[in-house]
Amino acid sequence: MNRLLISLAFFGLILALPGCTDPQAAQNALDNFGFKDIKITGYRIFTCGEDYTFHTGFEAKNPNGKTVTGAVCSGLFKGTSVKFD
């Protein structure tokens, strides 16, 4: 019984990970900073602090035309931060 519960909990966690991104908020934040050719790359587990709800990875061109990667970190009652690799 314990193995079944652990397996179900693990499977639920894996299914929940894609829900920890907010692609629209990330797109809006990067647009506001002047980034172009934005590609949302999915959940970034270690880039944002634990007090952020959403960790959305991206690849984009900055206003100078250089390709950069990172994550947009946002929360329900927090602002939005852009973290670069």
Q: Quick: pLDDT tens for 26-47.
A: 999 999 999 999 999 999 988 8
Is 1 within the bounds of a domain? no
What does the alpha-carbon distance between residue 43 and residue 57 come to, in Å, rounded to a whole number? 6
Residue 14 lies in a domain: no
User: Is 44 within a domain?
Assistant: yes
Does the residue 68 lie in any domain? Answer: yes
Arithmetic mean of pLDDT over the chain: 85
**How many alpha carbons lie under 13 Å from residue 22 in its C-beta half-sphere?**
18
| Domain, as residue range, for 51 | 20-84
> 7 in a domain, yes or no?
no
pLDDT recorded at residue 12: 47
Instruction: Give the pLDDT score at 66.
Output: 97
Instruction: Count up the domains in the chain and report the number.
Output: 1
Decide if 66 is inside a domain. Answer: yes
